[in-house]
Structure formats: C-alpha cells, structure tokens
Amino acid sequence: MHPILARGRLSLYLGLWASAALFLGVLVALQTRAPWAEVALVTLPLAFVYAFVCMSSWYVAHAMPLAATGAVRILVTAATASAIACAMWLAAARAWIAWLVAHGLFAFPGQGLYTLLAAFGLLFYLLALAVSYLFAVLGHVRAAERRGLEAQVLAREAELRMLRAQIDPHFLFNSLHSISALTTADPPAARRMCVLLAELLRESLALGGERGITLERELSLVARFLAIERVRYGARLDSEIVVGDGAAACIVPPLLLLPIVENAVTHGIAHMLSGGEVRVRAERRGERLVIAVVNPCDPDRPRRAGGGVGLANVRARLAALHGGDAGISAGEENGEWRVELALPASRSNSGMLEAGSW
C-alpha cells in the first residue's frame, strides 16, 4: 500500500500541499493580476488534484531504487515521469479554466498562465520524487537495522539451542553435587572443580558463536570435561587423548567432539562396574582428518529408547558443512563402542566456508 494512505498521513500530506497551493495562488495572482477569489477558484482545485498526481512519484522511486539503478536512468525516468504527470495536469487545467471562462467565472489572462502552471507542475513533481526517494532510503536503512537485529537474535537463539542440546543439564547437577561433597571433605578440590566447571562453561559459551575452531581448542574442552567427570567417577574413569602430526591445527565445527565424549562416559563407562578408559585419537591422513572416540561398553547394558540424539546432531552438522565429504560411523566391536569421524582437513576458516558453500 502507498505509505501516505496509511495511518492518517494523508491529512499531513494534504496540509503540506495547502501551502504549495498558496504558493501557486500567489504566483498566479502576481501574473494575472486577477482578483483573489478568481485566483483561488482556479488554483485550489488544481493544486488538490496535483497533490494526488504527485503521489505516483512513490511508485517511481520504488520501481527504480537508488542503489540498484544508474544515475542516467534515474534522471531520464524522473524527467519522463514529471513530464507525463505535468502534461496530464495541464490538460485538466485547460479543461477547468475553459469551463470557468465559459461560465464567466474567470477572465482568461493569456497563454503565460499555462507556462507558469507547467513550470510549477514540473518543479513540484520533481520535488515530490526527491522526497519519495528520501523516504525510500530511510525505509531501507530501518529495514536493514531490523534485519541486523533479527539476525543477532537468531544467532543467539541458535547458540543457546546448541548449548542446551550439547551440555547435558544432569552433568551440571551431578557436578554441583560433587562440589557439594567436596566442600567439607576436600575444600581445595572443591575449588579446583568449580574452576574447571567455570572454564568449561565459559569456553563452550564462547565457542557457540564461532563457525570453526582448531581441533586443539576442541580437545582442550574435551580434556576439561573428562577432568570433571574423573572427579565424579574416581578411579572408574581413565582417559587418553592422542593427537597425530598436523591434526591439532585443523579446523572443526565447535562442540563437535564434546557430545560424543559425553556419550562415551554416560552410556559407556557409567555402565561398567569397574569402569574403563575413554580414548580419543585424532590424526591427519593426507587431506582427511580422522577422529576416533573409543570406550568399553557393557554388552548387557539396557538399550536406551529414543537415544542417539547427540550422534544425529553431529551427523547433521557435518552434512550441513561438508555435504558428502564428511562422515561419521558408530558401532560395537569386541566389547568396545567406537565412533569415527572423517572430514576434510582444512587449516583455516575460509576452507570450511568454501567446503560448506556447495
């Protein structure tokens, strides 16, 4: 819809045009020296009609936005549009004045009046067009601001969703319970645990906003997680992280490995009477980065219904970033659960963006 027709703006617009009509009346009065009543009879209806004609300039500005159109084209369009609008208005003016003259309401002063009206018409149409462009630009700026804010909100929501999906709240509750136990039994250990937990949370919050991080950073997060779980599980949980040559600097999506290692502990080690070791191995094989997470598992463990959400998340994220170029496999073998990821080894974020763009 035309913006001027919305929410009482029409009266404001017509109010502005009343001053334009006064201006036109003064010009006509000066030129024709006709009495004021006659001048008003000629100019007021004409100005009123032209106010509506000039509203068409908004459509011109809309069809030919400043940013997407060349200067010459805009000038030609502006000239053509104002010429057409002015010509139409002049035709109406001729008819109106002829009618007034025929009825003896106005003494025709000569062709000079039409020249004056044509100049007024052209000038005011161009003015209206300029104002339309100004409002269009302001509208664009406001829309861009809103889009920017919306994008920020969406990104923050995605970050929170990822954290919700990836850091299990029960991990937090159990860790807090461990701290509660340590506060009297071993205060320095309680403090260490607080710091570990805070570091894990801070780091994972910071990582949520990033597209890609080095494997080294992801693994330090994993190591912190395992250190916290080690406090909970005691001697039942061992862990080993081995990184091959050239693998540490490779770029991976943030929080890719953490949910897999979380599963290895909660669905693997937690079900073993005497516990076991979580082993993380990362190596670079040519242009591929291969990461394996292995944990012992109890063959009689209860199968979880509706499980495997974490794995499905990881698979979806890899597919979104690398298409068919990355893969994840998981399975049980000789009493061990093994998750293996393979993705293109890139050393910069741009490599990942390229890979993700097709």
Partner 1 sequence: MRIVIVDDEPLARAVVREFLGAHPGVEVVAECGNGFEAVKAVTELSPDLVFLDVQMPKLSGFEVLELIGRDVPVVFTTAYDKYALRAFEVHAVDYLLKPFSEDRFAEALSRARERLLVRTPQGADPAMEGLAEDVRPKGPVERVLIRDGAQVHVIPVDRIDYVEAQDDYVCFASDGRQYLKDQTLASVEGQLDPGRFVRIHRSYLLNIERIARVELYAKDSRVAILRDGRRLPVSRAGYGRLQRLL
- The one-letter code for the residue type at 104 is G
Instruction: Give min distance, CB of 194 to partner 1, in A.
Output: 13
The verdict on 295 binding partner 1 (CB under 8 A) reads no
The verdict on 309 binding partner 1 (CB under 8 A) reads no
The verdict on 300 binding partner 1 (CB under 8 A) reads yes
Q: Torsions phi, psi of 286, nearest 5? A: 60, -120
Report the distance separating Cα 187 and Cα 36, nearest Å.
97
Pick the closer one to partner 1 by CB: 61 or 265. Answer: 265
Q: What is the 3-state secondary structure (H, E, C) of 291-306?
A: EEEEEECCCCCCCCCC
275, 235 Cβ separation under 8 angstroms: yes
SS3 content of the chain, % helix, strand, coil (to 5): 70, 15, 20
**Partners of residue 214 on adjacent β-strands:** 251
The verdict on 306 binding partner 1 (CB under 8 A) reads no
Select the residue interacting with partner 1 from 37, 72, 303, 358 (CB under 8 A).
Answer: 303
Pick the closer one to partner 1 by CB: 94 or 177. Answer: 177
Select the residue interacting with partner 1 from 77, 174, 214, 313 (CB under 8 A).
Answer: 174
**Partners of residue 241 on adjacent β-strands:** 280
Calculate Rg over the CA atoms of the chain. 37
The verdict on 182 binding partner 1 (CB under 8 A) reads yes
The verdict on 239 binding partner 1 (CB under 8 A) reads no
Pick the closer one to partner 1 by CB: 287 or 300. Answer: 300
The verdict on 298 binding partner 1 (CB under 8 A) reads yes
Q: Torsions phi, psi of 209, nearest 5? A: -85, -5
Pick the closer one to partner 1 by CB: 265 or 345. Answer: 265
Select the residue interacting with partner 1 from 217, 236, 315, 338 (CB under 8 A).
Answer: 236
The verdict on 141 binding partner 1 (CB under 8 A) reads no
The verdict on 231 binding partner 1 (CB under 8 A) reads yes
Pick the closer one to partner 1 by CB: 21 or 231. Answer: 231
Pick the closer one to partner 1 by CB: 174 or 313. Answer: 174
Question: In sequence order, what are the residues at sequence separation of 6 or more whose Cβ sits closer than 8 angstroms to the Cβ of residue 256?
Answer: 218, 314, 317, 318, 341
The verdict on 273 binding partner 1 (CB under 8 A) reads yes
User: Residues 184-223 vs partner 1: string with x where CB under 8 A?
Assistant: xx--------------------------------------
The verdict on 176 binding partner 1 (CB under 8 A) reads yes
CB-count exposure of residue 253 (10 Å: 0-12, 13-18, 19+): buried
Instruction: Give min distance, CB of 355 to partner 1, in A.
Output: 39
Q: Which long-range contacts (CB under 8 A, 24 or more apart) does 79-85 make?
A: 81/56, 81/57, 81/125, 81/129, 82/121, 82/122, 82/125, 82/126, 82/129, 83/122, 85/53, 85/54, 85/56, 85/57, 85/121, 85/125
Give me the residues that bind partner 1 (CB under 8 A), please.
170, 173-174, 176-182, 184-185, 231-234, 236, 270-273, 298, 300, 302-303
